[in-house]
């Protein structure tokens, strides 16, 4: 753990303990205080890890998770405060959203027209898309890619370089996973493995897009994906659907494309 991050967590804990030092009474009240402290620490750690993922290249992220697999978390320790890491913090934040955009994508992919399609979930997290679709009777192949391996069905890899042959997938999914300073490499890799006329689903935080229209236009001109649909989920997210129209390796990606999607950064506490 980063020393500055550790200091911030200690400071946060001391601040909350001081705030609640006069709270007496029942065990229930004391447990509520303890829960608030743990909740604050969990959110703080999530913000720290999240910012690291947004401001580093994907190769660095996978090295970080391989060096310390606990960062990606072992499910059996979900309830222990000293093991709360990226994905528990992520789930905790998701609980506060009006609706998880991943649920919208999963509901769409459960339709009969997708039942036999090969799907790649880039930055899959817990791998829930694959689990839910298989439980609903999906017949096509599903690949769950991520830098960490939370379940056996997840392929641990750099999602800028996934172990799938060219034009193999019918559908690609990025659900809040365009992290890393090289996110353009993720998009071009998706273009490589998705078949011509295949679909790409992208869900992202609205505030990351300085100009959503410019992003959509240049996805076509520089990455080879034509926009089919751009939906707003409340005031939080865009959920977009694209169709592969051209191979990205035939197109020129300009250096300022990276500025079309800004990183999520969090205020220090």
Predicted TM-score (pTM) above 0.75: no
Q: Mind listing the pLDDT tens digit for each residue in 100-127?
A: 899 999 999 999 999 999 999 999 988 9
- CA dist 130 and 145 (Å) reads 10
**Which domains are present in the chain?**
3-94 (no CATH), 101-260 (3.40.50.150)
* Spacing of C-alpha 229 from chain mean position: 21
Question: 76-90, 239-253, 255-269: which has the minimum mean pLDDT?
Answer: 76-90
Q: Helices marked H in the chain — which ranges?
A: 3-19, 27-54, 58-67, 86-94, 101-109, 128-135, 183-193, 212-218
**How far apart are alpha carbons 116 and 136 in whole angstroms?**
12
pLDDT digits over 43-57, tens only? Answer: 565 566 666 665 666
Residue 40 pLDDT more than 70?
no
């Amino acid at each position: 753990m980063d020393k500055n991050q550790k200091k911030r967590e200690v400071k946060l804990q001391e601040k909350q303990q001081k705030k609640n030092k006069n709270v007496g009474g029942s065990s229930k009240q004391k447990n509520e205080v303890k829960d608030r402290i743990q909740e604050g620490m969990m959110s703080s750690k999530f913000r720290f890890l999240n910012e690291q993922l947004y401001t580093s290249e994907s190769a660095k992220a996978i090295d970080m998770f391989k060096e310390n697999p606990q960062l990606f978390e072992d499910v059996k320790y979900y309830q222990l405060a000293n093991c709360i890491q990226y994905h528990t913090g992520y789930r905790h934040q998701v609980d506060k959203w009006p609706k998880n955009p991943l649920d919208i994508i999963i509901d769409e992919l459960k339709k009969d027209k997708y039942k036999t399609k090969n799907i790649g979930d880039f930055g899959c997290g817990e791998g829930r898309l694959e689990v839910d679709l298989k439980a609903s009777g999906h017949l096509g192949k599903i690949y769950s890619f991520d830098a960490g391996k939370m379940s056996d069905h997840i392929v641990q890899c750099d999602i800028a370089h996934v172990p799938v042959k060219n034009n193999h997938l019918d559908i690609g999914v990025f659900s809040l996973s365009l992290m890393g300073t090289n996110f353009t490499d993720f998009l071009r890799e998706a273009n490589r493995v998705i078949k011509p006329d295949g679909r790409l689903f992208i869900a992202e935080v609205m505030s990351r897009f300085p100009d959503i229209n410019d992003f959509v236009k240049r996805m076509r001109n520089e990455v080879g994906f034509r926009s089919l649909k751009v939906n707003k989920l409340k005031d939080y997210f865009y959920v977009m659907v694209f169709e592969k129209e051209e191979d990205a390796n035939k197109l020129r990606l300009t250096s300022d494309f990276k500025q079309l999607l800004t990183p999520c950064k969090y205020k220090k506490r």
